[in-house]
Amino acid sequence: MVDVAIFFQQAVDGIGLGALYALVAMGFSLIYKVTGVLNFAQGQLALVGAYGVVILGTTTIIATPLPAVVAVIVTILIGIALGVVLERVVFQQFIGEPVLSVIIVTLALGGIFGGFIQFLFGRNFKAYPEALVFEQNVSLPLGASVDAAYALAVLLSLVVVAALMLFFRYTVTGSILRAAASDEQAAMVLGVSIERTIALAWALSIGITAIGGMLLAMSSGGAGFAIETTGIIIFAAVVFGGLDSIPGAFIGAVVVGLLEELGSYYLEGGTAIVAPVIDVKLNFGAGFGEILPLIFLLVVIVVKPYGLFGTERIERL
């Protein structure tokens, strides 16, 4: 028999972890929705956001660090500016080029960003300012609790997904972005500035990704290269929800977080006796919780290639 209280605690942790993934996943989905680019540098861009606070908010690099909140705001603004620069300097040169070329560019950029961070810090964990380390827990029913960082991630991810949905549906700029995503050539004929539209998409995407990277760092007390490895987990989440669906990316990330937490608890150990019941656990070996979302991704691609909410593209030969 499964202990309900323990299951609820693991599920809460999974939702919190999924909310952390969701912000990075929505950044990935946003740029694909507007430009069709599969950005495989997403994990490294989250890493840049995470280490941006270390650079600006601690004495590791600069002698007089910024206040913690200011460091967070400036890091987000740098992420937005980085999005514009990447679009103008790099991706604008690849408009109309084969998809494989753009994918290779994103992989190269990921290597550059990851290498730059490693040049500055090595692969060492760097602690965050005390003001950004949340040690409090929020109490929940059944004796469960959730880390304050997870609770903040849930709140912010809900705000971001709602804001993006309202932005695309009810604003003129959002309508322009949807038009450009639907038919780029038709949008250009109607006078839409595609370059400006794509720059805005990149700015929003990397700004959101930077927030996700910072929250991932806050959840563990500081920035570490483990954040870089979330890129493939994020891809699994986005594919499950649908590559061009922002709400789908949010739902997919939560599902992946649940699978990872529940899989880590129930599929990596033996049988735990928790009075007055036996909490049943299987033993698939250490690390299986991280593999489970990838197995799930494979099943989803086979059964539903466009994800739960993705747009099915039918091409006539």
The predicted pLDDT at position 132 comes to 86
The answer to whether 232 and 249 have CB atoms below 8 angstroms apart is no
pLDDT of residue 272: 46
Predicted pLDDT at 310: 67
Q: Give first-to-last CA distance, the chain, whole Å.
A: 54
Could you please state the CATH topology (level 3) that the domain comprising 4-303 is classified under: ABC transporter involved in vitamin B12 uptake, BtuC (1.10.3470)
| Pairing of the two strands 222-223 and 126-127 | antiparallel
- Return the structure tokens found at 203: 């700015």
Asked whether the beta carbons of 226 and 52 are under 8 A apart, the reply is no
Pairwise CA distance, residues 224 & 94, whole Å = 32
Return the structure tokens found at 109.
């950029």
pLDDT of residue 199: 86
CA distance linking residue 237 with residue 258, whole number of Å: 11
Q: What tokens were used for 208?
A: 């959101």
Q: Is the dihedral of CA 212, 213, 219, 225 positive or negative?
A: positive
Contact status, residue 228 vs residue 43, Cβ threshold 8 Å: yes
d(CA 304, CA 130): 45
Domain assignments of the chain as residue spans, ordered by start: 4-303
pLDDT score recorded for residue 228? 82
Per-residue pLDDT at 271: 44
Show Cβ contacts of residue 147 under 8 Å, excluding neighbours closer than 6 positions.
Answer: 16, 134, 137, 138, 219
Report the alpha-carbon distance of residue 130 to residue 136 in Å, rounded. Answer: 13
pLDDT in tens, the chain (317 residues): 567 778 888 888 899 999 999 999 999 998 888 888 888 899 899 999 999 999 998 888 888 889 999 999 999 999 999 999 998 888 888 777 777 888 899 999 999 999 999 998 888 889 888 888 877 777 777 777 888 888 888 999 999 999 998 988 888 777 777 766 666 665 565 566 667 778 888 999 999 999 999 999 998 888 888 888 788 888 888 888 888 888 889 999 999 898 888 888 777 654 444 444 445 555 555 566 677 777 877 887 788 777 777 666 655 54
Is the Cα dihedral 215, 219, 225, 226 positive or negative? negative
pLDDT of residue 306: 74
Nearest by Cα to 120 from 183, 227, 48, 206: 48
CA 100 to chain centroid, in Å, comes to 22
